[in-house]
């Protein structure tokens, strides 16, 4: 399954049939009522219980699904709810054949006659109104194997350039680089002559291995602040990992010219010299 990404537009037609919700719980309840009329899979119920982990008692939703399309329609439903409350999809991770899944969760799935259950975790980071929701989805496959998906959402609202930059840094530190890129991009839109958002967005692109975009952002940071040794270093690093050794050599040399104590530039340049 599983390379298929959630489509961000799948569920909106159902929402058009409902009045404005009073809360996420209200929206979810009313959506489920419509859903039962329009889908081939079945909502089996909701139950709160504690699996003995650090999160305490959590609420789990249970479903019986038929196929991969059902799975992603379900994920799109929750994603559409979160978007109504300013949470956007960052990405997901998969643990296939999760032999460490709680026996309590497995028992509850059997009790509800469900082959999928999910719960939501919410965390705040760095006390800067940075909020991350992690949806944990457990699926029992026809081969009697449990796969677990961790789907990440981040909170995004329009703010000033400084606040967007700070939240971008916070999300980047949480390894939520899609969220960070969105915040840095908004900061750049509001303050296009500031080098820092370009620099940090370049870092996030680099972490996502989007090297062309990283080079563009480091270049823009250098154009704004040509004495930034770190920007030359990181652009040189990206040139190095993309096998453009001449440009890497030039950037790292420039970084050391600006700051002879730049340890990363020195080590990266020494590696290029050794290799050649």
pLDDT in tens, 144-199: 999 999 998 887 777 788 888 988 888 888 788 888 998 999 999 999 999 999 99
Give the number of domains in the chain.
2
Within-domain flag for 3: no
Q: Which of 92, 55, 60 is nearest to 76 (CA)?
A: 92
Structural domain that includes position 227: 161-275
Within-domain flag for 85: yes
Domain harbouring 181, CATH code: 1.25.40.10
Q: Identify whether residues 151 and 165 lie together within a single domain.
A: no
Torsion sign across C-alpha atoms 106, 110, 116, 121: negative
Within-domain flag for 144: yes
C-alpha–C-alpha distance, residues 124 and 159, integer Å: 18
Within-domain flag for 5: no
Q: Under DSSP, is residue 10 helix (H, G, I), strand (E, B) or coil?
A: coil
pLDDT in tens, 193-239: 999 999 999 999 999 999 999 999 999 999 999 999 999 999 999 99
Give me the mean pLDDT over the 71-93 stretch.
81
Within-domain flag for 69: yes
Within-domain flag for 33: yes
Within-domain flag for 6: no
pLDDT greater than 70 at residue 51: yes
Q: Identify whether residues 169 and 108 lie together within a single domain.
A: no
pTM of the model: 0.63
Q: State percent of the chain over pLDDT 90.
A: 48
pLDDT of residue 133: 83
Q: Identify whether residues 229 and 108 lie together within a single domain.
A: no
C-alpha–C-alpha distance, residues 46 and 254, integer Å: 60
pLDDT of residue 114: 95
Q: Identify whether residues 92 and 172 lie together within a single domain.
A: no
């Amino acid at each position: 399954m599983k390379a298929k990404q959630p489509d961000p537009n799948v569920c909106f037609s159902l929402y058009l049939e409902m009045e404005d919700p009073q809360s996420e719980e209200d929206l979810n309840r009313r959506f489920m009522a419509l859903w039962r009329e329009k889908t081939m899979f079945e909502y089996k119920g909701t139950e709160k219980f504690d699996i003995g982990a650090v999160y305490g008692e959590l609420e789990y939703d249970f479903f019986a699904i038929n196929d991969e399309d059902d799975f992603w329609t379900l994920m799109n439903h929750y994603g559409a709810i979160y978007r109504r409350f300013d949470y956007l999809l960052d990405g997901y991770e998969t643990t296939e054949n999760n032999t460490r899944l709680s026996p309590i969760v497995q028992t509850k799935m059997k009790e509800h006659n469900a082959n999928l259950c999910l719960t939501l975790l919410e965390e705040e980071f760095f006390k800067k109104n940075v909020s991350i929701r992690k949806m944990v989805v457990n699926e029992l496959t026809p081969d009697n194997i449990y796969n677990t998906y961790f789907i990440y959402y981040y909170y995004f609202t329009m703010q000033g350039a400084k606040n967007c930059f700070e939240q971008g840094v916070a999300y980047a530190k949480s390894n939520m680089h899609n969220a960070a890129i969105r915040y840095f991009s908004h900061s750049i839109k509001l303050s296009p002559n500031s080098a820092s958002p370009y620099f940090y967005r370049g870092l996030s692109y680099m972490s996502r291995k989007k090297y062309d975009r990283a080079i563009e952002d480091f270049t823009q940071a250098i154009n704004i602040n040509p004495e930034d040794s770190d920007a030359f270093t990181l652009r040189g690093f990206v040139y190095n990992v993309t096998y453009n050794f001449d440009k890497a050599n030039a950037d790292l040399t420039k970084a050391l010219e600006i700051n002879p104590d730049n340890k990363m530039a020195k080590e990266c340049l020494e590696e290029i010299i050794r290799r050649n």
